[in-house]
Amino acid sequence: MSTKYFQSENEKEINIINFTMLEEEAKKIIPAGGYGYINGGAEDEWTLRMNTEAFNHKQIVPRSLTDVEKPDLTTTIYGEKISMPIFMTTVASHGLAHKDGEIATAKGTAAAGTIMGISTYSTKSLDEIMTASTGPKWFQLYMSKDDKFNEYMIGKAVANGAKAVILTVDATLGGYREADLKNNFIFPLPMGNLESLGEGLGQSISEIFANAKQKIGIKDIEKIVAMTDLPVIVKGIESPEDALLAIGAGAKGIYVSNHGGRQLDGGPASFDVLESIAKAVNKKVPIIFDSGVRRGQHVFKALASWCRPSWNWRPAIYGLVVGGSKGVTSVFKHFAKELKIVMQLAGCQTVEDIKKAKLLSIKILKDESKKKVN
């Protein structure tokens, strides 16, 4: 481990007002290179910004006469009951945020009663993370050119009790991330699952992606599906066409994501494509969603657009910086607090009720406004 990279050792609960303020606090602690990698997006970061702004394209209709109080956030996915429809998504190198890395994140996520996603490019090894807590975990695979490595990692995940495999398909090369270039950022810490390959430490994310599979198609999904009995969820889907191709290849879940705005700048916000993908999938498999989620209302809107759970990662990583495992738990508790408020004001007692909630389109509102003017 490099002695030059500062790692937070904080371990405390956090009083969160909002995630913008939490990010500002984390920025004061984490080194510039690490912060740029976590916070930054591709090119002009238009898609990164739109990921959050897009939630304003829909409005939640308040419902007052529905006899709702104390909304229930519990839900089930692939037979796993969890405390809330919000997960910890897969993101590389939690060691950039905290000395205990993914071990702390796993403990914090388990304490919140929800699912932890584990990246192939984690600081800690898969074995260490899987045994760090008893909470449910899903393993995310960046597909290697070496099928033996893919099979080895999936086998290890299965042996350690992973409940699902996430196959990322939108990172066959790195997006043009200017923050990393300005900071001359290379990973200052080893990646536990790549050490035997001599990869990770001292490389940029583009160099690491260059060692992964550069071309991915339906045969690759079929290959991964054949390696395990676990549900395979295909991550990085932004079009109905790709969603249907993935399902045809055996995917048991569709993960709508644009990699947090870090790959293709100028592409749509994930929320803006969620509805069209949900209509195409037509409940054949669960739809999972991330990108830009910063509020309980964002989670509500995603669920009302027929996704199952929503994933968060930047807020949780900022919580990890500021408060370690307890900080991660604090982030989930804050999401749950906001979501319960939204559910009650929107007349939804359960997560299933949210799927029936009505969202208004901002386009419709503009059209109505024009009618009044005329």
The answer to whether the CB of 129 falls within 8 A of the CB of 137 is yes
Give me 304's structure tokens: 């009302």
The answer to whether the CB of 209 falls within 8 A of the CB of 174 is yes
Query: Which sign, positive or negative, has the C-alpha torsion 10, 13, 16, 19?
Result: positive
CA 296/CA 300 separation, integer angstroms: 6
User: What type of residue is 328?
Assistant: V
The answer to whether the CB of 309 falls within 8 A of the CB of 91 is no
CA 298/CA 274 separation, integer angstroms: 13
The answer to whether the CB of 297 falls within 8 A of the CB of 208 is no
The answer to whether the CB of 1 falls within 8 A of the CB of 297 is no
User: What type of residue is 64?
Assistant: S
Residue 233 host element (H or E): strand 232-237
Is 259 in the active site? Answer: yes
CA 122/CA 85 separation, integer angstroms: 24
C-alpha pair distances (Å), 354 with each of 93, 139, 161, 351: 34, 28, 31, 5
Which of 94, 98, 259, 298 does the annotation list as catalytic? Answer: 259
Give me 155's structure tokens: 């086998």
HSE-up of 113 (CA within 13 Å, CB side)? 12
The answer to whether the CB of 24 falls within 8 A of the CB of 336 is no
339: region left, alpha or beta (phi > 0 left; psi from -120 to 50 alpha): alpha
The strand pair at 58-60 and 359-361 is best described as: antiparallel
Give me 237's structure tokens: 């889907």
Angle between the N-to-C axes of helices 19-27 and 314-345, in degrees from 0 to 180, rounded to the nearest 10: 170
Residue 225 host element (H or E): helix 218-226
Catalytic center residues: 259
